[in-house]
Amino acid sequence: MAIFIVLGITASLYQLILLREFTFSIAKNELSLVVAIGVWIIFCSLGSLAGRKKRFLEISYLPFSYSLIFSLIVASIHLVKKTAGLSYYEIASFGFIAASALFFFGAIGFLVGYSFCLFCRNYLNRNKYSSSAFANFFGYEALGFFIGGIVFTFFLATYRNPFIFSALPLAFYLFISDKLRKKIIFAFFIIILTFFSAQSFKKIIESEFKGAKIIFYKGTPYGPVIGVQKNKVSSFYLNGSLAGSSEDLFWDEKFIHTTLSALKEPKDVLFIGSAFSNQLPEILKHKVENLHYLSLNKTVVSFAKKRVGRAEREKIKFIVADPRKYLKTNLKKYDCIILNKPPPASFSLNRFFTYEFFKLAAARLKTGGVFSFFIPSKRDILSPHILKFNSCILNTLDRVFDNKILLPSDSMLVIASHRKISSRFIFDNFSQNKIGTDYLTIYHLKDYLAKNRRNYFREKIDPAIGINKDYYPLGFFYYLSLEQAKFYPHFFPEVKPAKTYIVFIFILFGLSLILLSLKNKKTNYFISAFVTGFSSITLTAFVFILFQVSCGALFEMAGILTGLFMLGLAGGAFFVNMALVKIGLKRSGLSFYFGFWVLFSLILWAGGNLFTQPYQMILFLYFYSLVSGALTGAIYPLVSFYLAGDYRIKQTIPVSLYAADLGGSFLGTLTVSVFFIPFLGVWAGLSLIVYLLALFFIRNFY
């Protein structure tokens, strides 16, 4: 059984690494991550089914196949956008992302599923048949997955060069029974492949950035921090997004001095986000007494320190913390809070443009204080996509702040406060303070603050557009629609009608599964496994979203979340397997099983609304992942126990069950990423999962 543990460790580490590389280089958001997991899952299923009929590879060839395919995929992830004419920071079309995920995750996923089937067959051919072995296969693989997730989180999350993991499959040869000479030859090939691929990584990254010189490349738990230089222009990328440029000097002056001119004498200022450009020195040109710089990523904070001189550094307090957690727990109030974040292209960014975050910012402002940020827009003519996105964010802001002033542009500056802010007040302050600027002049400011332009924009805002919330991320949805309009100009989904259609279709989907399950007992068992996989992966996606909103560190802690899930899966499979051997089970056991799932799903809703502190939510989600895995793992021995007496070819039970569970998981990833989260939000999507589980509770009860 040790080889199943090695398979789990390899699958876990390769999945986590490829997901990070894929998300930051190509997909740019967590929903694409869920889609990629779905592709991995369905190809695991296909691989396991293919292994039932034919052997494509002998066991001794598997490790080198893993190493070679992994190396080719990593290289392709970093080069494929260039071949499509896209820059590193650009969002690709959904079709491009889906096709890329199909290729990049399909190959490794297929190999994992095929390996699982091959290892199962070899074990059953050498050992006496035992129904308890079925659950052990899943359990030991899940245990290995847990080990891989924990090791990655605590020891490998800051990796810089992904190609070093090409050597990981060497561990298989410790447990493969084959000639020593053959294993040594393949091990030598893996080592050579790892060495040369690792040496090529810098060239690959330079090619990804279209020949730009790599100034630095730093791996962090939250994603890569990359600095490049081309034509004497330095650009800085954080977690796949363009975070700053040496050519941003005019924007820095406009952003900082317009914001601070909305105050008579700003004394206490909080700056949130990356400071790769000249923002901090510009703030210090004002008579600021306390400037606090805040970022979750300590590498970004360290870089910001280096961007200012020693004298300026002493005037700034650098804070490494999650901004949302800091605003919740730190009681200090500020005259001005400046948010320097890219648009909500992901959940990690969307959490800074929601109703909940705006309330946090407002609570940390002194009387008359101001809060500023910027979003993509247009100076004059607003397309329908831009209008919906801008309306969503500004309607959200209006729920919190009494007043705002807008400076329309391609990057629209928004300044909000509970007091009235007039353009004359900003203009007069800027003129009187005589701030030393190299690019921004009073004439620029007068143009940006022109009343007719601001009135035009204000009249265009649609008050009927819903607000952006943590667990109903409409801002994220409208921004993705805006980006995808470049590729699909006629794609213009309306949220309310879509919600109705999705709910109606899902109700029919659940009833159809019930009717199909009535065919016979065997069909019901496999459909039950399918529903378990579907519900489990959907709830896991909801956990990811809740975790990202709570602490913004999903990519740092994804290994723990998935690891705890797989540990629970292993524990659930082992425990139920032992219990069945001792006490057996009645046919109504599936009804109780789905009853537990219904209650457990409701617990996620209760916990998500009950726990308000980040540490409480994080601990709750860790626990939830563990128990969710245990309930998922319980389906394997439970259904295997029923099938063992009814199924003619018992050796095919684990593979067929594996395929049914993974098939449900694949459909679940597509459903939650394409329909539930964008159109319904977390809680409405969760209600539909409760409905599906309740149907199977009732079906198996009777």
User: Are 481 and 385 contacting, i.e. CB atoms less than 8 angstroms apart?
Assistant: yes
- Read off the tokens for 106: 């399909």
Torsion of Cα atoms, 633 then 638 then 640 then 643, to 10°: -150
Cα(122)–Cα(32) distance, rounded to whole angstroms?
Answer: 36
**302 alpha carbon, distance to own chain's centre:** 25
What are the structural domains of the chain? 1-128+159-212 (no CATH), 245-295+321-464 (3.40.50.150), 493-702 (1.20.1250.20)
* Cα–Cα distances in angstroms (integers) from residue 647 to residues 617, 651, 653, 656, in the given order: 44, 9, 8, 11
Does the pTM surpass 0.85? The reply is: yes
Spell out the residues 6+ positions from residue 9 whose beta carbon is closer than 8 angstroms to its own. 144, 145, 147, 148, 151, 168, 171
Residue 398: CA count within 13 A, CB half-sphere: 16
Cβ burial 42-53 (10 Å sphere, 16+ → b, else e) = bbbbbbbbbbbe
Cα(30)–Cα(658) distance, rounded to whole angstroms?
Answer: 26
Q: Are strands 411-417 and 403-407 parallel, antiparallel or unpaired?
A: antiparallel
DSSP structural state of residue 147: H
Spell out the residues 6+ positions from residue 631 whose beta carbon is closer than 8 angstroms to its own. 532, 536, 568, 572, 593, 596, 597, 600
Spell out the residues 6+ positions from residue 616 whose beta carbon is closer than 8 angstroms to its own. none
- Read off the tokens for 418: 């509970």
In the structure, what pLDDT confidence band is assigned to residue 394 with cuts at 50, 70 and 90? very high
- Read off the tokens for 81: 């956008």
Cα(18)–Cα(24) distance, rounded to whole angstroms?
Answer: 10
* Cα–Cα distances in angstroms (integers) from residue 319 to residues 232, 316, 581, in the given order: 31, 10, 56
pLDDT tens readout for residues 643-674? 765 544 455 566 677 778 878 888 998 899 88
pLDDT tens readout for residues 568-614? 887 887 777 777 656 655 556 788 889 999 999 999 999 988 887 88
| pLDDT computed for residue 584 by the predictor | 57
Cα(14)–Cα(607) distance, rounded to whole angstroms?
Answer: 32
pLDDT tens readout for residues 329-359? 888 999 999 999 999 999 999 999 999 999 9
Cβ burial 494-525 (10 Å sphere, 16+ → b, else e) = ebeeeeeebbeebeeebeebbeebeeeeeebb
Rounded to 5 degrees, φ, ψ at 211 are 85, 5
Mean pLDDT of 422-434: 89
Cα(360)–Cα(352) distance, rounded to whole angstroms?
Answer: 10
Cα(304)–Cα(318) distance, rounded to whole angstroms?
Answer: 9
pLDDT tens readout for residues 151-166? 998 899 899 999 999 9
pLDDT tens readout for residues 244-291? 888 888 999 999 999 999 998 899 999 999 988 889 999 999 989 999
- Read off the tokens for 622: 């860790």
| pLDDT computed for residue 649 by the predictor | 47
| pLDDT computed for residue 54 by the predictor | 65
User: Are 87 and 212 contacting, i.e. CB atoms less than 8 angstroms apart?
Assistant: no
* Nearest-10 crossing angle of helices 521-551, 30-53: 150
